[in-house]
Structure 1
């Protein structure tokens, strides 16, 4: 455990001797005996052996016990003295002009506390007032930001509010907002408000320090798992409004992702090899022996050159591209297919007409079952296809709306734009085009949801997931090659040139949930990827030979592997955990399997970290002091967000908000390009030029990937 710092405050030092089991610190586990206690305040009593509401720790070292016992005794004496002083000093704190009699009065105070047989009047006389003059003073900034004297419940509540502000980047000045206080008054009343709402000084003071201390301990614990499971370096890059090329670096492992650093890699100012120098520094900091792969946020010739140089320098390292980025790229290419683009343009004509007119939007929301026709997504490329899918779901409701008396008698129904939209809704070829686009795209959207759906590693499933996407698309098109082959070709192009990695093939082969099934198939691509991965990760020839023999045991499902399949553990445990539990008799293969199956397939862009913090941190205008404080704020905010991402149950690809600036919505009074083209099509009788489909029923598609894919 961490050594005791005698100069530290017990209320801060205690965080080094316990582990929080939840976000609110309501359940804390002792690092010595493992007992779970309700909060860090109770942990001090547990460690210090102060009996009362909590039992003492049987395994705590003597020096730790004495440190916390003395701290608790001093705190209790201080509280008693305060109570006695309040009897004679009801006024606010005063500043002494001299220090005479202070020591004598303190001794008398201690005697008064220990003399239990004397009445209160004698105790009060023993605390005679000093003969010096007092000057009234205001509490200092340090005193306002100190948590001494607060009970554990108040500390917990204030920290919870503070964590909300820090995690979400809310301006501290919002604490003074009347609406914030009105909101809080709905939950607590009167004096309880003072116990619940922290001050700005407290937010900047002890709350910030406590949260930073706790997140630093969390990061340390995550780092300890890297040698066992390996880790992935995730990148998230962008160009800011100043034209700088900036990048955030995150390290991911099964224990959770943590923020490492932000950097300016602008070629013009930092040099052409700025990214390579950054990644070399990151590999040194994390430990090249711990890093399995670097996951890029995008693909380019420049990044490919960097990856080749890194792999040449570090043969055990793999370079992959974010699966979410690659699938988004596939969706963009599908959206560019002429027939699908025509359908998307017509659908945008409808939504832009409706959302630009309040009366029509109100009528729409009366008829459709969902609140909005446009389905916004956290993945931009998915918005168009989720909206088309919603069109199919609401098809019958839309048709009813545009033949309803409310619509027919409205002003907009008689306008030229209204007539175009009415005809589009009644056009069977438009709906055929919508169905075609949904069949081609929604399996890929579902794949993004599965891959980004939670914090579980998906290295063992990405290979099978992409195969299932193609099979699902084929089934949706009734296995008609002329219809699904163009979509397959787009998927294969991105898979073969950008997405696929030997790690993916090795993960597929070593995933017991897939390997021990009847339809498992190891082709040359899988076998070759497995071989490349083992050669690069195992290192010497002797280890490679051992792994080769142990692969035969795994393939034959012998030894503990058979036990792990007979008791259904392969379905209930994650692949990496399954190997940790049942692979001990093949230790060399076990080590490789655990490290491969513990990796992610996504880049850091999926976490949605605020980029403005990194931009401000990397600003050339900040002083050294400002930079140090900004670095603390950035580390705390990013790692709180990443910790929360780890704890969230499910990623929802659908965004709750529709952005008015989206291409599917426009301001009133502006005729869209899509409306212009639709008007032209009406004039030349070309409204039926979109792709025909013999099945134009209004039954919505139910496209799902098999559950075994994740």
Structure 2
């Protein structure tokens, strides 16, 4: 996987990482500040990493959705016929959040919510009063690049509804000078508006299935490729449930999701992973017989199976009809307990050709989020006090720290192969906020480890391209929600992506 980043010295850096069942490993970083950022240079960089790892060890390449990365992915697939390319699923979901956030009534709701947070955080006395409330936690505010943060903020704001209403109706506030200020009066009117809180709760429930899927595909611990296809279906199903299957109400949102999925994210490897996942193959309500799913499986077999294509296709029948080792009661009962790739290792011995393919596909990640998390490592090492670090030195420090952390996590943390909770994607009572704080880095200790055995990355090469200017880059009660009047969406919705080119 690979992605671009700009450091605080305005250098364009491209990170390359490798994903395997043991976790993510940092390979190298390339300074692409002084070269043309086009598909050819990107392809050359990816190709060098592929050759270093060995092409036969590479199953899948994941990048972001920038045009030059998409073109580089095509060049990789043309040279290495057996290697699949797909865009980052987490990035695609992030763009769905962005698209939904642009819908007029959602954007208006977010603007009103921002007036409330500005009102609270621009008045120290009011914030101090709120912080004395029992159980008070800080209201999250939108970040600059993660569009999902906007909807997390709406959830947090709704959680503080009673605290905020208690504030603006308290004697402390009414008698204060703040109550006379015009902007404060606007914020007070929003806080006391039940329509505003109803709409906040609807948006929170609307975005909850997407947040759950984002959490699944953004996970480094467990392979997520086998859940993307089903997850996108369940996201749309959850939104339809929220609006009681009223097409006039749900279509503006499901259409955005469908367009992004059909014309940007969905690839043959997603269809093949869905078909090979025993959770879905043995589900009575599945899409395994749909032509596009079967076609995706055949495409992957044609790409990846160098010898024994006929045997592989014959073994598909054994898996589909639960024959041979697939017919054991234990194989059926454990399909939702084991990770899909682990399930194939244990129960796929009657179909050795298909078993090998299934393990390859189902052990893949669906996103390049590991690259983004690696940016935070760069930032924490490349501080204002150490802003003159040369790129190679910075690269070496990150290489040691990131891979040392991977090693420690592998040895110190018990790996539990629990299944991903795909079944609850369509539920709208879930929200996730990550409260983990980044640990401080001991840079001197890292430098001492730099040249220990096995700690030197492959040599840096020139040539690159990067799309750095990214595309702007508790239980929730549903009863009593007035979804019928939410946003007054038009009955006939024209998708903004109706002319979106197929990838």
Q: TM-score range by the shorter chain?
A: 0.7 to 0.9
1:531 aligns with 2:295: no
Instruction: Say which of 55, 78, 83 aligns to 1:312.
Output: 78
Count the aligned residue pairs: 423
Structure 1 residues 694, 283: CA separation in 2 closer, same or farther (over 3 Å shift)?
A: closer
* Alpha-carbon separation, structure 2, partners of 1:640 and 1:323: 27
For 2:186 and 2:415, locate their aligned partners in 1 and report how far apart those are by CA, in whole Å: 44
Quick check: 1:257–1:643 contact (8 Å CA) kept in 2?
Answer: no
SS of the residue aligned with 1:457?
Answer: coil
Aligned to 2:103: 337
Matching of residue 577 in structure 1 with residue 356 in structure 2: no
2:362 aligned with 1:597: yes
The counterpart of 1:462, out of the listed 228, 232, 236, is 228
Is residue 2:327 matched to residue 1:548? no
The answer as to whether partners of 1:377 and 1:655 remain within 8 angstroms in 2 is: no
Residues 1:615 and 1:393: Cα distance change in structure 2 (over 3 Å):
closer
Question: Within 5 A, what are the aligned runs for 1:91-490?
Answer: 234-241=1-8, 243-266=10-33, 268=35, 273-296=40-63, 298-367=64-133, 369-374=135-140, 380-453=146-219, 455-490=221-256
Q: Is the 8 A contact 1:503 1:533 kept in 2?
A: yes
Structure 1 spans left out of the alignment, 5+ residues: 1-233, 659-690, 697-710
TM-score (norm 2): 0.77
How far is 1:448 from its partner?
1.2
SS in 2 for 1:257: strand
Residue-by-residue CA offset, 1:572-603 (whole Å, 9 max, x unaligned)? 21111111111112110000000000101110
What residue in structure 2 maps to residue 499 of structure 1?
A: 265
Answer 1 or 2: higher relative contact order, Cα 8 Å, separation at least 6.
2
Q: 1:251 to 1:653 in 2, by over 3 A?
A: farther
For 2:327 and 2:144, locate their aligned partners in 1 and report how far apart those are by CA, in whole Å: 42
Distance 1:404 1:568 in 2: 58
Conserved 8 A contact 2:130-2:136: no
Preserved CA contact (<8 Å) 2:62 2:367: yes
1:568 maps to what in 2? 333
| CA shift digits 1:632-671 (9 cap, x unpaired) | 433211212344666598999524499xxxxxxxxxxxxx
C-alpha distance in 2 between matches for 1:412 and 1:384: 27
Structure-1 separation of matches of 2:483 and 2:250: 13
Q: Which residue of 2 aligns with 1:654?
A: 433
Question: Closer, same or farther in 2 for the Cα pair 1:351/1:500, shift >3 Å?
Answer: same
RMSD: 3.2
Alpha-carbon shift at residue 465 of structure 1 (Å): 1.2
Alpha-carbon distance in structure 1 between the residues aligned to 2:401 and 2:13: 18
**Contact between 1:502 and 1:529, CA under 8 Å: does it hold in 2?**
yes
Once the two structures are TM-superposed, the CA of residue 568 in structure 1 deviates from its matched residue by 2.2
The DSSP-based 3-state class of the residue aligned with 2:4 is: strand
Q: What 5-or-longer segments of structure 2 have no aligned partner?
A: 421-430, 438-480, 487-503
- Following superposition, the deviation at residue 695 of structure 1 comes to 7.8
Change in 2 beyond 3 A, CA 1:468/1:517: same
Alpha carbons of structure 1 residues 337 and 391: separation in structure 2 relative to 1, 3 Å: same
Distance 2:144 2:58 in 1: 29
**TM-score using structure 1 length:** 0.55
C-alpha contact 2:165 2:191 (8 A) present in aligned 1: yes
- Return the offset for 1:558: 1.0
Shift of 1:487: 0.7
Deviation at 1:552, TM superposition (A): 0.4
Structure 1 pair 467/310, CA: closer, same or farther in 2 (3 Å)? same
2:23 alignment partner, SS class? coil
Measure the CA separation in 2 of the matches of 1:452 and 1:392: 25
Shift, 1:605, TM fit: 3.1
**Deviations 1:648-704 (Å, cap 9, x if unpaired)?**
98999524499xxxxxxxxxxxxxxxxxxxxxxxxxxxxxxxx985589xxxxxxxx
